[in-house]
Structures are given as structure tokens and as C-alpha cells.
Amino acid sequence: MNNSSGIETPSHVLKVMDLPLEVMEGALRIGIGKFTTNEEIKCAAEILSSAINLTRKAMHRKA
């Protein structure tokens, strides 16, 4: 996660939530604006779900 100076630091919001560093480092921030449609949100959710499942399968093969 980059701050405004380009230095990688965990989000201040995640720090306040007192999350472990490994969780903060794996966090993904998604922005949704007032012009984002429900269809775009559903499509993004499907893409993320598929990527997570593929990653988990790949990690299990390595274990």
C-alpha cells in the first residue's frame, strides 16, 4: 500500500482496526463511486471470487 509519498505503508484504517501485519499486507482496497453500476459490482465480485479460488487451489498444490 502506498501513501501519498509513494512509500509502502499499511493503511491507517487497517492499523486502527488492529489487524495483524500479514493481514494488512494482503488487503485489497476497492473503490466504488456514485457512477458504479450494480452490474459492474457483480462482475468485479465474480472476478475476485474466481481469482481467490484459483489462488487457493494453487497454494494447496504447493503444500
Name the band, by pLDDT with cuts 50, 70 and 90, for residue 49. Answer: very high
The mean of the pLDDT values for the chain is: 88
Kindly report whether the global pTM for this prediction surpasses the value 0.75: no
* Domain boundaries along the sequence of the chain: 1-30, 33-63
Helical (H) or strand (E) element with 38: helix 38-62
CB 50 within 8 A of CB 35: no
pLDDT at residue 63 greater than cutoff 90: no
Helix segments in 1-37, DSSP class H:
12-16, 21-25
Q: Which residues contact 10 (CB under 8 A, 6 or more apart)?
A: 1, 21, 24, 25, 27
